[in-house]
């Protein structure tokens, strides 16, 4: 089981309290009506799914009910950091 630190509640909680929300930092197109079907499909359905460092969005469903981001190593499942939505991660790249 993972212990996840919620940057809003300021405490570690069990994984069961949270819901995974997908890849973090996906920017909505500024002019969605200008996209063709392929571009719109790419935005909606395709994600990077890397091996190694990945930035994810999580929701604290049984706690403060707020979204935040997690930097996690997908090979080891280790959570490297959590940070509030709207801010940038301090860990980037392929290795911490």
Please state the domain extents for the chain. 3-26+33-84
CA dihedral sign, ordered 75, 81, 85, 88: negative
Confidence of residue 96 (pLDDT cuts 50, 70, 90): very low
CA 37 – CA 24 distance, rounded (Å): 23
Confidence of residue 92 (pLDDT cuts 50, 70, 90): confident
Please spell the DSSP secondary structure of 33-80, one letter per residue.
GG--HHHHHHHHH-----SSEEEEEEE-TTTT--EEEEEEETTT--EE
Task: Summarize pLDDT for 31-53 with one digit per residue, the tens.
Answer: 999 999 999 999 999 998 899 99
Indicate the pTM of the whole model.
Answer: 0.86
pLDDT of the residue at 3: 94
CATH code, residues 3-26+33-84: 3.30.2270.10
Taking residues 3-20, what's their average pLDDT? Answer: 97
């Amino acid at each position: 089981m993972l212990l996840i630190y919620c940057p809003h509640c300021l405490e570690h909680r069990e994984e069961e309290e949270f819901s995974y929300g997908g890849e973090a930092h996906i920017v909505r197109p500024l002019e969605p009506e200008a996209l063709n079907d392929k571009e719109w499909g790419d935005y909606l359905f395709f994600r990077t799914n890397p091996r190694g460092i990945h930035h994810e969005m999580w929701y604290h469903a049984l706690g403060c009910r707020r979204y935040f981001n997690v930097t996690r190593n997908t090979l080891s499942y280790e959570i490297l950091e959590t940070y509030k939505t709207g801010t940038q991660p301090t860990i980037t790249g392929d290795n911490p």
